[in-house]
A = this chain, B = another copy of it.
Amino acid sequence: MTTIRDVAKKAGVSVATVSRFLNSTGYVSQEAAAAVTAAVAELQYELNPVARSLNTKKSNLIGLILPDITNPFFPELARAVEDVALSYGYTVILCNSDEKPEKEKNYIETLKKKYIAGFIVASNQLDAPHYANANLPIVALDRAINEKIPTISSNNKEGAILGTKALLDRGCKNILFLRGPEELNPANDRYDGFMETIQQTDVNFRVVFCPFHFADSQEIAEQALRDDPSIDGIFASSDVSAAGALKAASLLGIAVPDALQVVGFDGVALGEMLTPGLTTVAQDVYKMGAIAARVLIKRIENQEIEQHFYQVPVKLVIRGTTRSVTE
């Protein structure tokens, strides 16, 4: 392995000069710079990041803390984070927290020992003290912990308004809203958007809590549809829940979209694979991840960041679970 010492010797300068040149810190004469450049090229020298970390107490590792990569929302997010990280020379460590504070805390502590540069956190435990005390650059997804931590989220309320209107515009007169978990900020924003929109009309509606889980959603939807067969529209707070609702409808022999229209939320790949294809409010998950990574890296590198809250636009994707607009 060739070290900075070898480079210094070959270039005829001190290691300090080589280091300063390589890190563009401090002045280096033209000649010295040229000599070092040549020596580096000739020896194919590459800096040892571990040795550097030991000094600077910083690495180019970033931690991505999320509940569970298995949840269809997260792979695309992880992909975006990794793409951006890679392009800036960072490496990402995957941390599945299962929303457990001890797991998160544990990750933060063991990674701090590795001088991790920062964290991107997509978790509900964000208000736990281990984040506030982490003393490290952090960027949050979907949940603001405090003003100091930049947050990226979709425009969930706007999305819910779009989704609700989609059902209204298509003639639904009795809408079931599958509301997501109460602890989830985005789910609550979606709820607000739905309520605000529906209450401006005289359309019937009911709201039911429903986890973002397929089998549970199916059961809850089935129950609701049995209770009230006149339901003619379902707005689910997630695509997985929408898939559950579709399954329930099929089991009950309810025709979609003729007798029942369904709109999901997320824009996950699953939606297009269903039959009929799921009409949904699509988030730009990749973009969220990319922004999160970019903002984190800016913070790590002490660059200015323009804003602390990023709202990524959302859009309605019309597929087969809704009919054409009625006049």
Interface residues of A (CB under 8 A from B): 46, 48-51, 53-54, 59, 61, 64, 68-70, 72, 74-76, 78-79, 82-83, 91-96, 110-111, 113-115, 214-215, 240, 243-244, 246-247, 250, 269-270, 272-276
Out of B48, B69, B273, name the residue touching A75 (CB < 8 Å). B69
Taken together as a complex, chains A and B put the C-alpha atoms of A215 and B215 apart, in Å, by 26
Question: With contacts A70-B79, A72-B72, A91-B110 known, what are 7 further pairs, Cβ within 8 A?
Answer: A48-B113, A69-B78, A91-B93, A92-B94, A93-B93, A214-B272, A274-B275
Distance in angstroms between the alpha carbons of A276 and B246 in the assembled complex = 11
Most chain B CB within a 10 A radius of its CB, from A75, A92, A95: A75
Question: Are A275 and B272 in contact (CB-based, < 8 A)?
Answer: no
Knowing A50-B53, A54-B51, A274-B275, say if A94 contacts B113 (CB, 8 Å). Answer: no
Partner of A50, one of B54, B69, B72, B274: B54
Chain B nearest Cβ from A66, distance in angstroms: 11
Given A50-B115, A70-B75, A110-B91, A246 and B275 contact (CB-CB distance below 8 Å):
yes
Q: Give how many copies assemble into the complex.
A: 2
Contact of A214 among B48, B64, B91, B273 (CB under 8 A): B273
Q: Which 10 A-B pairs have the closest CB atoms?
A: A243-B273, A250-B275, A69-B75, A94-B94, A70-B75, A50-B53, A75-B75, A50-B54, A70-B79, A69-B78
**Chain B residues with Cβ under 8 A from A244's Cβ?**
273
Which residues from chain B contact A75 at a C-beta distance below 8 Å? Answer: 69-70, 72, 74-75
> Within the complex, which residue of B79, B214, B246, B276 is in contact with A269, where a contact is CB–CB below 8 Å?
B214
CB–CB B96/A83 < 8 A = yes
Contact B275 A273, beta carbon cutoff 8 Å:
no
Closest to A285 in B: B70
User: B91, B96, B113: which contacts A111 (Cβ < 8 A)?
Assistant: B91
User: Known interface pairs A49-B114, A50-B54, A50-B115. Does A94 touch B78 (Cβ–Cβ under 8 Å)?
Assistant: yes
Give Cα A270 to B272, complex, Å: 11
A1–B79 alpha-carbon span in the complex (Å): 35
Question: Which residues of chain B have C-beta atoms less than 8 A from A240's C-beta?
Answer: 273
Chain B residues with Cβ below 8 Å from A113 are 46, 48-50
**Docked CA distance A53–B115 (Å):** 13
